[in-house]
Amino acid sequence: MSLTWLRVAVFFYGIAALAVMPTALFDRPNWRRLAIPAAIAALFFHFVAFAEMLNAAHHTLPVDSHETQSLLALLLVAIFLGVYFRYRTVALGIFVLPVTILLTWTPAFHPGQETILLAHSGWIFIHVVLLLAAYAALSLSLVASLLYIVQERRLKAKQPALRSLPPLETTDQIALRTLLFGFPCMTTGLLIGTALAVKQFGASYFLDPKILLAFAMWLAYVAMIYIRRSSGLRGRRAVYLSSFVFLVILAVWAANQFSSVHRFSAP
């Protein structure tokens, strides 16, 4: 049944993604009445599918790439809906919902058995969830910064502001607060992962290029928050800074594919 529920979720994600477009891009607020309920329904069925998927496989954490993709998509939509209920903006859905469909399409219609994690440990589950939440928060912060530039350019060009986008100050707050949400997630996730991996691999853990990049990513994240808070950085420069950290995250993800030390496999 998990695949059935996940396919239902993908269907509702598709409806929400289509309804968000006229709401956010063409100032048609009535479409929001379809987009948000569809996104909530999709999140519900997605959660049910994910829980049943883990239960049927007799484990409590993701053990293959498809399950990890599904979990990341679940976190993205949860944060998107949290931002909506706090700021009443669906603009982030332009990015979140299509990406969510891409992340859930393969698990829903072409499930596989690509094992990537070590053991059925609650700490590894927390480690994975926290890091995925941090990645999702940083992604949404980058999108919010891009929307800030769009609205700012319209105002500078004496064009009417897009009513579907929140005011500049609100957009900037979304970008900053999603960063602040992601930072403790990333910090705690890295600490848990370090403790587990040192116990498993010893000192060789710190020779892994993925781990060196992960700590570089954490330092870049700290620098980005400090610069934004201390200098009020926003607009194009904030996008450049967020993009740099996002590229580091992509580098960490790619390095994981070539890592000879930090590689988890299920028993």
Quick one: 34 and 130 in the same domain?
Answer: no
Q: Using CA atoms, how far apart are residues 56 and 63, in angstroms rounded to an integer?
A: 13
On whether both 255 and 158 belong to a single domain, the answer is yes
Quote the longest CA-to-CA distance of the chain. Answer: 62
Boundaries of domain holding 150: 118-267
**Residue 39, pLDDT score:** 95
One domain, residues 157 and 103: no
Structurally, the chain folds into a number of domains equal to 2
Last residue of a domain, one of 116, 138, 161: 116
Q: Does residue 97 sit in the same domain as residue 156?
A: no
- The verdict on 107 and 123 lying in the same domain is no
Residue 33 burial (C-beta neighbours within 10 Å; 0-12, 13-18, 19+):
exposed
Pair 122, 94 in one domain: no
Last residue of a domain, one of 49, 84, 116: 116
Q: Which of 116, 139, 157 is the last residue of a domain?
A: 116
Tell me what pLDDT residue 186 has: 84
Decide if pLDDT at 104 tops 80: yes
**pLDDT attached to residue 173:** 83
**Within this chain, do residues 82 and 160 fall inside the same structural domain, yes or no?**
no
Query: C-alpha angle with apex 240: 235 to 245, nearest 5 degrees?
Result: 125
Using one digit for the tens of pLDDT, what is the confidence trace for 130-173?
A: 888 888 888 888 888 788 888 888 888 877 777 777 788 888 88
| CATH number, domain with residue 34 | 1.20.120
Are residues 39 and 70 in contact, defined by beta-carbon separation less than 8 angstroms?
no
Q: How confident is the model at residue 10 (pLDDT cuts 50, 70, 90)?
A: very high
pLDDT for res 120? 46
The mean pLDDT value of the chain amounts to: 77
Mean pLDDT of 82-91: 86
Mean pLDDT along residues 227-237: 66
pLDDT above 50 for 184 = yes
Mean pLDDT confidence for 207-226: 73
- Please state the three-class secondary structure of the chain as a single string: CHHHHHHHHHHHHHHHHHHHHHHHHCCCHHHHHHHHHHHHHHHHHHHHHHHHHHHHCCCCCCCEHHHHHHHHHHHHHHHHHHHHHHHCCCCCHHHHHHHHHHHHHHHHHCCCCCECCCCCCHHHHHHHHHHHHHHHHHHHHHHHHHHHHHHHHHHHCCCCCCCCCCCHHHHHHHHHHHHHHHHHHHHHHHHHHHHHHHHHHHHHHHHCHHHHHHHHHHHHHHHHHHHHHHHCCCCHHHHHHHHHHHHHHHHHHHHHCCCCCCCCCCC
164/251 same-domain check: yes
Residues 112 and 122 in one domain: no
Average pLDDT over residues 213-240: 71
145 plus 242 within the same structural domain? yes
